[in-house]
């Protein structure tokens, strides 16, 4: 049987389909241009009708009758006036054309002359780092086109770069920390100092995103945070850093702010905390904030090495076992804490052997807060006492199993004096105050993904929980309410969080009175007395 020839559409149909598609697209564009006024008026009429429906729905029922009468009167008046219907239609079409106009803001076609020079300068500065002589088609070359390397860019009101997406060649060693640090330092210098930049490296896509971070809020005062037992708010960070927000009060207003939450307890992987900073950096404020949160569900023992009375507001309060300020009282308090940890371990072990629930006193959280313990460690040999650092080994090693948490705050120049047990068991770390990237990495174990700002407020720094990411941190304002420099708003906020006073043993109850900030006496269940 003879084979029939193939139809001609297979050979010439593709060309005809392409031509037909082009003609249809051209006709559609032409129709859109011709009918653009009609489309605009239709869109405006739709918006006016929607506004009328909203106005009618928002009118109370007792006022709808007079409103209908008013509209009918206007329509009748317009109908009786000469040329009234024509003028009404013209007015309606004009209003519809105005409401139906395209309100999308026009975007500039590209950067202006000054912005283009900034991008060109950035591109030229990156050429020595992102190019090699062996590359046959280099993405970066002197005199090249920066538009191929920068996918997106944004500028702030001052004309400086606020967001930039950079493409780099695949052979760049983005897996090495030194190579990345050089690029980040260069971009920080060329984009403008005095701001904090966040660097997001996409090794798979060979892209680097640079973004300017807004300053963290410093007006967050101490308050009751919406947290579960075992959760402590260290401070607040960027919205992209954590998947959770907390509702906070700012005077009469309320807004949601992302927190850095530290979880303690039996199942915590970071049961103890180390905070490091310089003078005036806010480490004592952090301890005071942690103490106010811990007193909601547990007991607190405070060791103050500075002896400045920063924790006088907590003296004699319910749940405060003691505030030790001298080289003789601090070892006594820590020895009791070690024995209490051992007692809890034995009681919990016996209860589990008997198949019972551990006693309630072994599950109530006990917090040991130490502010600058190395000062007391230096004075202990002269007074014949023990170094507080050596007495912390038992609570640090075994405290997690019996709800004993240790928080240590120290300065940068005294970190070497901290014992090995403190450095080994404090997996949650905080760095406050001005610090270089090297200092932050030395304390946290990882460099920050942002450039440290030269001038930071008190309580501003970085936090890292275990092996997690490094977060920017702003500690809530928790000043000493007995300090004369404290504002009245912050003073009342802290005083409102303090628990009530506990009357001394064998003494009649007395009215509450402010504690003496010079000599602090805090009798507690363990009989620990502070020395001023």
The three-class DSSP label of residue 520 is: coil
- Report the alpha-carbon distance of residue 401 to residue 513 in Å, rounded: 38
pLDDT in the model for residue 529: 40
pLDDT in the model for residue 284: 94
Concatenate the DSSP letters of all residues of 273-287 into one string: EEEEE-TTSSHHHHH
pLDDT in the model for residue 384: 59
Token representation of residue 190 = 């060329």
* Cβ neighbours for 489, distance < 8 A, ≥ 6 positions apart: 221
Please answer whether residues 281 and 287 qualify as being in contact, where contact means their C-beta atoms are separated by less than 8 angstroms.
no
Q: Fill in the DSSP letter of residue 301.
A: E
* Cβ neighbours for 224, distance < 8 A, ≥ 6 positions apart: 497
The three-class DSSP label of residue 370 is: strand
Please answer whether residues 172 and 130 qualify as being in contact, where contact means their C-beta atoms are separated by less than 8 angstroms.
yes
Cα-based distances in Å from 491 to 180, 221, 263: 45, 10, 27
Please answer whether residues 431 and 282 qualify as being in contact, where contact means their C-beta atoms are separated by less than 8 angstroms.
no
Token representation of residue 105 = 């803001």
Most distant CA pair in the chain, distance: 122
Cα-based distances in Å from 41 to 19, 91, 102, 106: 33, 12, 11, 21
Q: Fill in the DSSP letter of residue 243.
A: S
- Structural domains of the chain ordered from first start: 36-43+78-100 (no CATH), 113-212 (no CATH), 231-496 (3.40.50.300)
Please answer whether residues 515 and 316 qualify as being in contact, where contact means their C-beta atoms are separated by less than 8 angstroms.
yes
- Report the alpha-carbon distance of residue 212 to residue 276 in Å, rounded: 26
- HEC sequence for 451-469: CCCCCCCCCEEEEEECCCC
CB atoms near residue 271 (< 10 Å): 24
Q: What angle do CA 511, 516, 518 make, to 5 degrees?
A: 170
Chain center to CA of 116: 33
User: Is 0.75 topped by the overall pTM?
Assistant: no
CB atoms near residue 12 (< 10 Å): 10
**Nearest to residue 330, comparing CAs of 292, 367, 379?**
379
Residue 494 host element (H or E):
helix 488-497
- Report the alpha-carbon distance of residue 448 to residue 435 in Å, rounded: 11
Please tell me the number of Cα atoms within 13 Å of 155 on its side-chain side: 15
Token representation of residue 8 = 């001609």
Tens place of pLDDT for every residue, the chain, 532 residues? 455 554 444 444 555 655 666 667 776 666 666 667 888 888 888 888 888 888 888 888 888 888 888 888 888 888 888 888 888 888 888 888 888 776 665 555 567 788 888 899 999 999 999 999 898 889 999 988 898 899 899 888 888 889 999 999 999 999 898 899 899 989 988 888 778 899 999 999 999 999 998 889 888 999 999 999 999 999 999 888 788 899 998 777 888 999 999 999 888 999 999 999 998 899 999 999 999 999 999 999 999 987 788 999 999 999 999 998 877 788 889 999 999 999 999 999 999 999 999 999 899 999 999 999 888 877 666 565 666 777 899 999 999 999 999 999 999 988 888 888 899 999 999 999 988 888 899 999 988 888 877 778 889 999 999 999 999 999 999 999 999 889 999 999 999 999 998 766 554 444 444 444 333 333 344 444 444 3
- Report the alpha-carbon distance of residue 39 to residue 114 in Å, rounded: 39
Phi-psi bin for 46: left (phi > 0), alpha (psi -120 to 50), beta?
A: alpha
* Cβ neighbours for 250, distance < 8 A, ≥ 6 positions apart: 219, 220
Cα-based distances in Å from 147 to 58, 110, 132: 52, 10, 20
Please answer whether residues 367 and 300 qualify as being in contact, where contact means their C-beta atoms are separated by less than 8 angstroms.
yes
**Nearest to residue 421, comparing CAs of 393, 444, 400?**
393
């Amino acid at each position: 049987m003879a084979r029939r020839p193939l139809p001609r559409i297979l050979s010439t149909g593709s060309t005809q389909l392409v031509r037909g598609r082009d003609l249809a697209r051209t006709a559609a564009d032409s129709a859109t241009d011709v009918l653009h006024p009609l489309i605009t008026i239709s869109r405006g009429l739709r918006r006016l009708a929607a506004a009328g429906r909203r106005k009618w729905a928002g009118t109370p029922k007792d006022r709808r009758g007079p409103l209908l009468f008013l509209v009918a009167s206007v329509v009748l008046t317009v109908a009786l006036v000469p040329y009234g219907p024509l003028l009404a239609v013209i007015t309606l079409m004009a209003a519809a054309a105005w409401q139906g106009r395209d309100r999308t803001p026009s975007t500039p076609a590209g950067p202006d002359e000054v912005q283009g020079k900034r991008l060109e300068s950035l591109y030229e500065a990156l050429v020595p780092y992102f190019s090699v002589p062996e590359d046959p088609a280099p993405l970066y070359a002197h005199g090249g086109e920066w538009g191929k390397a920068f996918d997106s860019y944004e500028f702030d009101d001052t004309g400086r770069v606020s967001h930039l997406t950079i493409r780099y060649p695949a052979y760049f060693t983005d897996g090495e920390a030194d190579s990345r640090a050089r690029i980040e330092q260069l971009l920080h210098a060329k984009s403008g100092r005095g701001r904090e930049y966040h660097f997001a490296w996409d090794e798979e896509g060979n892209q680097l995103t640079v973004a300017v971070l807004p300053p963290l809020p410093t007006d967050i005062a101490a308050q009751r945070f919406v947290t579960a037992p075992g959760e402590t708010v260290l401070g607040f960070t960027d919205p992209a850093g954590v998947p959770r927000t907390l509702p906070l009060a700012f005077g009469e207003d309320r807004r949601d702010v992302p927190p850095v939450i530290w979880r303690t307890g039996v199942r915590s992987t970071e049961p103890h905390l180390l905070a490091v900073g310089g003078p005036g950096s806010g480490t004592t404020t952090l301890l005071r904030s942690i103490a106010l949160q811990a007193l909601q569900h547990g007991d607190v023992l405070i060791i103050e090495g500075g002896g400045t009375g920063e924790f006088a507001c907590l003296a004699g309060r319910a749940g405060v076992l003691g505030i030790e300020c001298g080289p003789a009282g601090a070892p006594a308090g820590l020895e009791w804490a070690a024995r209490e940890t051992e007692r809890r371990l034995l009681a919990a072990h016996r209860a589990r052997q008997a198949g019972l629930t551990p006693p309630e006193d072994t599950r109530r959280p006990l917090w040991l807060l130490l502010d600058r313990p190395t000062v007391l460690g230096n004075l202990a040999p002269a007074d014949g006492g023990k170094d507080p650092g050596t007495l912390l080994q038992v609570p640090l090693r075994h405290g997690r199993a019996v709800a004993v948490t240790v928080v240590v705050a120290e300065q940068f120049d005294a970190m070497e004096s901290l014992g090995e047990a403190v450095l080994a068991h404090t997996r949650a770390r905080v760095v406050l105050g001005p610090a270089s990237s090297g200092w932050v990495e030395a304390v946290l174990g990882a460099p920050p993904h942002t450039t440290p700002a030269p001038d930071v407020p008190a309580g501003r720094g970085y936090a890292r929980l275990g092996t997690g990411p490094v977060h920017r941190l702003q500690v809530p304002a928790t000043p000493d309410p007995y300090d004369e420099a404290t504002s009245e708003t912050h003073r009342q906020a802290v005083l409102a969080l303090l628990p009530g006073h506990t009357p001394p043993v064998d003494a009649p109850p007395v009215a509450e009175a402010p504690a003496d900030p010079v000599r602090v006496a805090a009798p507690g269940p363990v009989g620990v007395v502070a020395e001023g």
